[in-house]
Structure 1
Amino acid sequence: MRNENGFTLIEMMIVLLIISVLMLIALPSMTKNNAIVKSLGCEATIDLVQGQVGAYEAEKNELPTIDQLFDDNYIDTKVCPDKEPLLIDSEGKVYVNNEDEEDETP
């Protein structure tokens, strides 16, 4: 009787083939969804900053600018994850100045 303690070369090649096929299936779908993830990250950041605008307004009785929120440590960034700068209009609505999307401008 032979004592077999490890994998044979054929078994290792089959495992590597299976892993390669799974990677070929998974990678394209991950890269496709990258733009969606960035968009949702920006929406979440806008919602967070909008909440901080309300907190600042309740505490100081005035609408803040992005710089005031940042300087007073209400927020820790002035940009979305996709590096678009955040802005606040005269009514206190947070938005991103993005010419491609009409619905986000005030």
Structure 2
Amino acid sequence: MLKNERAFTLIEMMIVLLIISILLLVTIPNVTKNNTVAQNKGCEALVNLIEAQVQAYEIEHEKKPDNLEVLREEGYIKTYTCPNGDVLQLSENGEVQGPNE
């Protein structure tokens, strides 16, 4: 007695793997490109947050902080390092600056 089994053939499986491989080759470069954009946007958001915390510090202490480490020590911020690895600094006039500014 023969059974009528339905299954994928080797050719069908190879075609599916080929299609999946092509999709991966197309999507991976786009994901890495968008990762850089997301890190830069995260750095911009961190700069805005730290600028707001500098103002909050200034209101409470009636002076600007000497550096960003003071804000971190007093609990205003947790970090001043961007997602892309850039370390932010506080300028003489109290503005937050990245390494290339």
- Asked if TM exceeds 0.5, the reply is yes
Over 4 Å off, 4+ runs: none
Aligned-residue CA RMSD (Å): 1.8
1:46 deviates by 0.7
State, as a whole percentage, how many aligned pairs show the same letter: 44
Return the TM-score normalized by structure 2: 0.81
**Where does the alignment leave 5 or more consecutive residues of structure 1 unmatched?**
99-104
1:2 to 1, 4, 21: 4
Return the TM-score normalized by structure 1: 0.78
Partner of 1:22: 23
Query: 8 Å contact 2:46–2:80 — kept in the other structure?
Result: no
Matched, 1:96 2:88: no
- Matched length: 98
Partner of 1:86: 88
Distance 1:40 1:74 in 2: 21
Greater relative contact order (Cα 8 A, min sep 6): structure 1 or 2? 2
Distance 1:44 1:2 in 2: 61
Distance 1:20 1:50 in 2: 45
